[in-house]
Structure 1
Amino acid sequence: MAKRDYYDVLGVSKTAAPDEIKKAYRKIAIQYHPDKNPDDPTAEDKFKEAAEAYEVLSNTEKRQRYDRFGHQGVNGGGGPGGMSMDDIFSQFSDIFGEGGSPFDAFFGGGGRGSRRKKGSNLRIKLKLTLEEIAHGTEKKIKVNRLVTAEGVTFKTCPTCQGTGQVRKVVNTMLGQMVSATTCSTCHGGGQVIDSRPPGVDNSGLEPREELLTIKIPAGVSDGMQLSMSGKGNMAPGGGVPGDLLILIEEIEDKVLKRDGNHVVYDLFVSFVDAALGTSMEVPTIDGKVRIKIDPGTQSGKILRLKGKGIRDLNGYGRGDQLIHVNVWTPQQLTREETEILEKLRDAPNFNPTPDASDKGFFERMKEFFNG
C-alpha cells in the first residue's frame, strides 16, 4: 500500500512553519495514542503514520529531501520503512517533555514499558559513477560498528525492573501526579550486564568489522542521504541498534553531464558536416548510438534522445539525453584549405549567411567539394 503524503497525514500545508507542524502532530498523537484507544485496531497505525510524518517534516534536511524526491528521498530503499514504537516514544521528549507522553504525566503511563536506549548512528560517504546512478547498483562495503561482545549476558535492571524509567508519585490538590525520568542505572535500556568476558568494558560492546551489501536505487543524486535501519552501533544493555546513514557523492563524468534526470552531451561538428548533413556516433549511459545531423544544422541546436536519461527516483520513467550541437570552426588551416575556402567565398551567388531553406546553396556546396 502506497504511503500517504506526509503533509496530508498531519493536515498541514507544504509551507507550514515548524511550530505548526509540531502542534499538528501533538494533536494527532493525543487523539490516536494506543493507550487512549485500546479497542480501536486502526489507532496504532494512524499513531505510527503521524509519528513517521513528523520525524521527516520536523527535520529541515529530511524535509528538503522529501519535498524534492518524495518518500524515496527519505527512505531510500535501504531497508523496511516505517518506525518502531521504541523510535516513536523516544522522539516524544521533543513534544511532551521528559515523560515521553501526556499519558505518562497524567495517568501514570499506559503499560508502554521501557523506552529502550538507541545506539548511535554511523555515517559513511559512497561515491557513485553516473552510470551507477542512472541504473542503480549494489555495493559491498566494510563498516566498523560496535556490537555486543560474545559471552556478554544481561539481566533485568533491579532499579527500574526493566521499564527503563523511574517513576515518582506526588500528591497534589488535583490528585496524584506521576512523573517519570530515565533510569540512571541502565540509562533507559531496561537491562544491565550480568556477566562479561575479560577485556570487555561496562557497555558490553566491542568494535567489529562487518561486510554489508547496500542496494542503491536508480536516480539518487549528489548530497542525498540514504539509511539502513539497525546497521549502526548497538546500544549498551541490549537496546535498539542505530542506523547506517549513507551520503551519496556523485563522481563527475568527463563526457556526459547531469541536469536533473536529463543527461547533456556537447557534440562538436565541422561546418561542412553541419552544412551538408551527416551521421555520427554519440555516447549515452546505455552505450553508443548513431544519430543523424540534418543538412543546415545550426550551432546551438539541441537534439533530444527520448528515454536515454536517468531513471526517476520515484518511478516516473526516465529523462532524456540532450545533445547540444556546436559547429566547430578550425583555428589553423593549411595553405590548400585556405585556398579552397577563399574560392568558395568568391564563388558566384555564394551567400555567407544563407537562409536554411535555400536548397540551392547546399547543392552548390556539394558540387564545389565533389568537383
Structure 2
Amino acid sequence: MSSSRKRSFLDIVDMCDNVHIRRDGTGLYDVSYGSEVLVPLYLSESTDTAVIGLLRPIIVEQLKLENMRSVQEGLQELWSLRLEPSDFVPLKNGTVGPSVSFKAWLDTPAKRTAAMQELCERWRDTGLFSDVCGPTKWRSEMYPIYADPFGLHDHPLIAGHDAGLNYAFEMERSACALFGLVTYGVHMSIYDEIAQEDGQRSLRVWVPTRAFTKPTFPGHLDNTVAGGIPSGMSMFESLVKECMEEASIEPDVVRKHTRAVGSISYFFRTTKGWLQPEIEYVYDIVIPPAVDPAPFTPRPLDGEVESFEFMSHDKLLRELRAGLFKPNCGLVILDLFIRLGCITPDNEPDFMKIINRLHGSFDYDKW
C-alpha cells in the first residue's frame, strides 16, 4: 500500500466526507455521485416523525420486491412506499417528494428490530448485497438506531422500558450502510509530548496497522484504539472494551487516564456507493511523564491489528498526506493536530473549512 501523491489536509477530509446533498422541487440528490436520487427513510408513516436514513434507488426497488414477497406469503408488508407524485405528502422539512417508512404496525423497537433482523439475515443467506452484508462482511454486531441521530443514546436495557425513548431499533452493523443509517463509534489516541531544548514539543502517537484479514481497509493505518458502539453499551464502556480487545490496555488504566475531547462527524460514501453517515466520539490518553510506559503500550490481542508503532509527528504527517490512514482515522489525526496546536489558522489556509467539515451534520436539514 503506497501513494506518491502528497495530499493537502482538505484532501484528507474529502476522502472521508464525500457526500454532498442537494434538494429541489423534484427530490433529493447526491451531487457528488452523479446526482443519484436518494429517498428519505422515515421511522413511521407520519412524516412528522424522524428521518432516520437515506435510500439509494437499488434499495428502493428491493423494498418494492420485499412488499410483493410479503403479500405472496400472506405476511404483513414492512414498507410504506410513497414514490409517485400522486402519493407525495408534505415532508418534515416543508418540501414534497418521494419517501419510504416502516408500516404503521411496526410501532415498537422490538417489532422493528425483529423485522430488520429477518430481512438482513435473509439477504445475507441469499447473497443479496454480498459486498455489504454477505457472509464474509457480516459482523454479528447489533448497532443502535435512533429517532434523532443527534439525540440521546438511550436503550431499553438502561431505561428499563422501550416506550418514549430516542432508541428506535437495532440491526446488524454491516447492513446499516444499505439504509444510509447514522452509526456511531469511539476513537482514541495514546500519545506523549516531549519538551525539546528549543522550546518545541516532540509528539509521538501509537499507530496500529490494521490486520490484512479485516473486511474493511485491510493493512491501512488506524487510530490507537477504535471501534463501533454496540447496542446497549455507553460510549465510554465501548472504549474500555475496545482498549482491552484491540490493544491489551487494561480497564483501570483507561478509566484513570482517559479524557473525552469531543467528536467528529462526516458523511462517507464507499467506493461501491453505499452511504455511511457516522459520528465518532474522540478520546485521548496522554502518557504521563516520568512513569513506566508499559501500561500505556498497546499490544495486539484479538487479531484485528498487525502491529503498533510509536510514530513521530513527522512520520504521522507523511503517512497522512500519503493517504495511508483509514479515511475516518485520518480525520481523527487531523483533529488531534488541531487540538494540540500543530494545525492553526496561521499555518493552514483551509483551517475553517477543515474545522467545519470535521463537525458536519450530513446536510440533515435537507433529508
Coarse TM-score class (shorter-chain normalised): under 0.3
Structure of greater relative contact order (alpha carbons < 8 Å, 6+ residues apart) = 2
Q: TM-score, normalised on structure 2?
A: 0.23
Q: TM-score, normalised on structure 1?
A: 0.23
